[in-house]
Structure 1
């Protein structure tokens, strides 16, 4: 684990999204849509920022590495919630797999969040929610990335 953990993600991507349409834990209809993303390093390489553009909305992720604690923190914001920056998730890469946890309120319900990152030539990101304090997890968003030359 290091400030270079997300270097695989720098660049431009085409993103295949599969997401539960309603509030996770309360809906079962999956929707699929494409998006474009771009990630670049910031802060001398100890962080990165990416933007995601889908039909009708835009999202942004800020990631920053804390070398003292050897963890990453991840923040998300989108045009679907103007003026709001989600609370950070925190975690690390171990054995080539990144796992990050945080807490939030979604649709009026307290939830624990989990992000899973699988790096590689075609990285995969998954989001999971837990409504029972982390006993069980429900995957509600999967992104598959294909590099754009």
Structure 2
């Protein structure tokens, strides 16, 4: 019985921490977002934080700085870039980033699964609708993207 309760507690603990993809520092207007590529098996591993095809997304207050902590927890290489528009592009380069420095290294080739986390910082501009997309060819079109909305009314960042 103790083993069952222990395992159930671990499962619940894992679920609680998995939901914590955003932290806010209102004083410095900085949102720290965690982006886990290939988390779980949803969409064959083509996902961010278990979400794909824009079903979920980050909301960031306009003018804030974003500290994106990117980790590839999947099996295949992945990357991340914030792009303009509502649908992913067929081919993505650093020039397609909606904000200066809003992308990980090795954008087209991807970062290998199990690599150390990579942190990038960028400042978001005015309110608008964007996407956080994997830059590895075919991944974005395969559904590896989540929304990235810059809001003129949000007081804190979130992942919904």
* TM bracket (short chain): under 0.3
Larger Rg: 2
Higher relative contact order (CA 8 A, sep 6+): 2
**Larger relative strand fraction:** 1
**Larger relative helix fraction:** 2
TM-score, scaled to structure 1:
0.27
TM-score, scaled to structure 2:
0.26
